[in-house]
Chains A and B, each alone.
Chain A
């Protein structure tokens, strides 16, 4: 069975500071991993995804994530936070075979302080 754990339901950073949102997964088969962002009253928007190949994945808005198989992690980072980054972020995993079911984490709300 697959699962996703996002550490920290709320994270606050100062504008210009490093953003680090944590995601750990569990999967018995090679996973596909995703980060999504959600702004108020909107749907989820894909930030980036890992399927195969390069373990450091770059996404939109300056975000990137690194797939670390040994640590079963897929943490999201951004070197310098902007006020516009304030939103809720979701990590997700799906299997590459079988039921292809998507599993989402519980989300991390990012607050950016001026």
Chain B
């Protein structure tokens, strides 16, 4: 089976812009979670989608949003980018209550 894929792998944006990241889960996985990873804050949970519904949410401002499509692919959007949004964004997919499998991440740099 193909693993979790994330596009793009690298992204450079400027403050105030918005960005959309994409995640394709492993075939058959209906749960997709997003994480932000920075050197200072470590791995932080953003949100989880299951069957097109947001099931869990972390403690991030409303500028961070996501969605899931009927084929389980997911996107996350960050509006009005800030310097502090520079991070590695990781997507993980899983069967319900089982192992999360991670993609390689999208490295976002905000200038």
B-binding residues in A (CB < 8 A) = 32, 34, 36, 41-46, 49, 90, 92, 94-97, 99-104, 106-107
User: A102 CA to B91 CA in the complex, in Å?
Assistant: 13
Given A94-B97, A95-B97, A107-B43, A43 contacting B90 (CB threshold 8 A): yes
Does the CB pair A96–B97 fall under 8 Å? yes
**Assembled-state Cα–Cα distance A96/B98 (Å):** 9
Quick one: given A99-B56, A102-B33, are A46 and B43 in contact (CB under 8 Å)?
A: no
CB closest residue in chain B, given A46: B99
Interface centre among A36, A44, A101 (most CB of B within 10 A): A44
| Complex partner residue of B100 from A96, A97, A102, A107, CB under 8 angstroms | A102
User: Bound complex: CA of A22 vs CA of B106, how far in Å?
Assistant: 29
Count B interface residues, CB 8 Å: 24
Find out whether the CB atom of B97 lies under 8 angstroms from the CB atom of A32.
yes
Chain A neighbourhood of B96, CB < 8 A = 100
CB-based A-B contact count at 8 angstroms: 55
Contacts of A43 in B (CB 8 A): 4, 90, 92, 102-105
- Residues on B with C-beta less than 8 A from A34 are 99-100
Query: What 1/0 flags go to B28-67 for Cβ under 8 Å of A?
Result: 0001010100000011010010000001100000000000
Of B31, B55, B90, B107, the residue contacting A44 (CB under 8 A) is: B90
Q: State the B residues within 8 Å of A (CB).
A: 4, 31, 33, 35, 42-43, 45, 48, 55-56, 88, 90, 92, 96-105, 107
When C-beta atoms are compared, the residue in chain A nearest to B6 turns out to be A43
- Report chain A residues within 8 Å CB of B55: 99-100
Query: What CA separation (Å) do A47 and B48 show in the bound complex?
Result: 22
B97 to chain A, nearest CB (A): 4
- Asked if B102 contacts A44 (CB within 8 A), the reply is yes
**In the complex, chain A residues whose CB is within 8 Å of the CB of B90:** 43-44
CA A49 – CA B97 in complex, angstroms?
12
Q: 14 interchain pairs (CB within 8 A)?
A: A32-B97, A36-B102, A43-B4, A43-B92, A43-B103, A43-B104, A49-B99, A97-B97, A99-B55, A100-B56, A102-B100, A103-B45, A104-B45, A106-B42
